[in-house]
């Protein structure tokens, strides 16, 4: 279903279509069961009716909350940040012009950074995030339970038809009953398959405390690390030193029960499946939920996620005609006289010219190698910086604004000074 959110007509009709599907499978089928007395074994019993409609009520409540609950937002009341904001200072959103806390991503549909963004769901017109995940999980759970109950009722009637297959047709169900039963069964089979797969993936994400976006990031990192010794030898840092790709373990898997309790906002198991239960909320304090996340300590230090993307570094270093800015040099030159600023500018211009020449020579020398590796290092801008998941999914397919994921190279000097006044926490280590 990746990319469905980009179709305007899908976005407009998604929620009404889901409501119509629920109504068809739940109430039309019950009408068919009651409307045709010859459709054996007859109308569902009182117990079956109560159980089925109770599950439907839970389904409607969960879906309503998955659609209407706000996916969360970050509020920055202060203009200058201090050193206590170091966790959020490692990442910066160019679209929000604000720090991007860990596990947050900028959604191009919601147009803001979403805490613990999993994906933007076209069928709820909402992001599955830190605040909406419990409702989305309950929606999928009750949808599948309702479908399984309906499947049992449909199976009873198809089994009765099979046993009466030798009877004269005029003694059996009416044409309306047969058509309604067949249409319900066909719709049920397709919906059960799709929602069953969605529930399995969501339960896996719940238990591992790993979002769909982080799954892509982990797969990309593992693929880069397996090929690191051969493919990334040509990358150098700002100081000219060769960069080494370090393996990073996923840090947010803190244990089976702790993962689930964190996602549901409570350790009370009974509330996990209660449709009217609450959800986690983004803390107003920058050290609370949504801003910082517990880590398992498997890496040499905290804050190493997401891992470095070598393809992103290669693209930035091989960009023709565009030089990377030296923020430290610009800050050092700030406040100089006009003549001194002109001289500093010319000095940087000469250094940029020499650097572009070196990159050009490296490009010419290695062009054949990179073209042969084209399947891995694609020029497609919409594929997670040249890499796609085994299922051909990319960050954009999950609603992430990839432009906001790139390193910000166009920060105004005034913004650099504001960040420096905040103890320089926004510069990468």
Is 98 within 8 Å of 84 (Cβ atoms)?
no
- Backbone torsions φ then ψ of 113, nearest 5 degrees: -75, 130
Place of tokens 């976005």: 11
In which element (H, E) is residue 219 found?
A: helix 212-226
Q: Which of 99, 104, 106, 105 is nearest to 84 (CA)?
A: 99
148 Cβ contact list (under 8 Å, min separation 6)? 192
- Phi, psi angle pair for 253, to nearest 5°: -85, 100
Tokens of 57: 């009520």
Distance, CA of 92 to CA of 87 (rounded, Å): 11
The answer to whether 129 touches 212, Cβ cutoff 8 Å, is no
Could you tell me if 229 and 310 are in contact, meaning their C-beta atoms sit under 8 angstroms apart?
A: no
Q: Which of 58, 93, 96, 121 is catalytic?
A: 121
How big is the chain, counted in residues?
Answer: 429
What span, in angstroms and rounded, lies between the C-alpha atoms of 133 and 118? 8
Q: How distant, in Å, are the alpha carbons of 145, 301, 415 from that of 298?
A: 38, 8, 35
CA 266/CA 222 separation, integer angstroms: 32
Q: Is residue 42 a contact partner of residue 173, using CB atoms and an 8 Å limit?
A: no
Token pair of 65 as six digits: 């909350």
Cβ proximity of 225 and 217 under 8 Å: no
Residue 19 annotated to the active site = no
Does the CA dihedral 194-196-199-205 come out positive or negative?
A: negative
Q: Are 111 and 105 in contact, with CB atoms under 8 Å apart? A: no
Q: Which residues pair with 112 in a beta bridge?
A: 107
394 CB burial (10 A radius; 0-12, 13-18, 19+): buried
Q: What is the DSSP letter of 127?
A: E
Give the residue numbers annotated as catalytic, written as ranges: 121
């Amino acid at each position: 279903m990746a990319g469905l959110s980009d179709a305007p007509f899908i976005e407009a009709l998604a929620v009404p279509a889901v409501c119509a599907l629920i109504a068809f499978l739940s109430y039309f089928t019950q009408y068919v069961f009651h409307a045709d007395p010859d459709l054996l074994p007859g109308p569902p019993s009182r117990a079956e009716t109560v159980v089925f409609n109770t599950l439907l009520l839970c389904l409607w409540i969960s879906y309503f909350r998955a659609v209407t609950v706000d996916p969360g937002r970050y509020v920055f009341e202060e203009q200058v940040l201090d050193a206590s904001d170091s966790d959020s200072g490692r990442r910066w959103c160019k679209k929000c012009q604000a720090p991007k806390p860990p596990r947050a991503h900028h959604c191009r549909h919601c147009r803001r950074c979403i805490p613990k963004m999993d994906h933007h769901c076209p069928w709820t017109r909402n992001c599955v995030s830190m605040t909406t995940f419990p409702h989305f999980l309950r929606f999928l759970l009750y949808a599948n339970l309702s479908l399984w109950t309906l499947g049992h009722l449909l199976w009873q009637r198809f089994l009765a038809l099979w046993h009466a297959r030798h009877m004269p047709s005029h003694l059996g169900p009416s044409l309306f009953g047969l058509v309604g039963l067949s249409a319900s069964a066909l719709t049920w089979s397709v919906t059960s398959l799709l929602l069953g797969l969605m529930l399995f993936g969501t339960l896996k994400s719940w238990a591992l405390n790993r979002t769909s976006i982080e799954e892509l990031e982990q797969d990309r990192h593992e693929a880069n690390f397996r090929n690191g010794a051969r493919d990334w030898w040509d990358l150098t840092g700002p100081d000219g030193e060769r960069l080494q790709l370090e393996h990073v373990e996923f840090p947010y898997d803190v244990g089976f029960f702790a993962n689930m309790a964190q996602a549901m906002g409570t350790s009370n198991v009974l509330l996990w499946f209660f449709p009217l239960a609450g959800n986690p909320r983004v803390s107003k304090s920058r050290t609370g939920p949504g801003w910082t996340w517990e880590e398992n300590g498997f890496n040499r230090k905290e804050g190493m996620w997401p891992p470095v993307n070598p393809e992103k570094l290669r693209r930035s270093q091989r960009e023709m005609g565009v030089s990377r800015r030296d923020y430290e040099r610009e800050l050092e030159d700030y406040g100089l006289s006009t003549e001194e600023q002109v001289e500093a500018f010319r000095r940087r211009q000469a250094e940029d010219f020499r650097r572009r020449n070196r990159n050009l020579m490296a490009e010419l020398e290695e062009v054949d190698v990179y073209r042969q590796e084209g399947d891995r290092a694609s020029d497609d801008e919409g594929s997670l910086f040249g890499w796609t998941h085994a299922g051909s999914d990319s960050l954009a397919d999950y609603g992430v604004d990839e432009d906001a994921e790139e390193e910000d190279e166009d920060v105004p000097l005034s913004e650099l000074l504001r960040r420096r006044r905040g103890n320089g926490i926004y510069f990468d280590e």
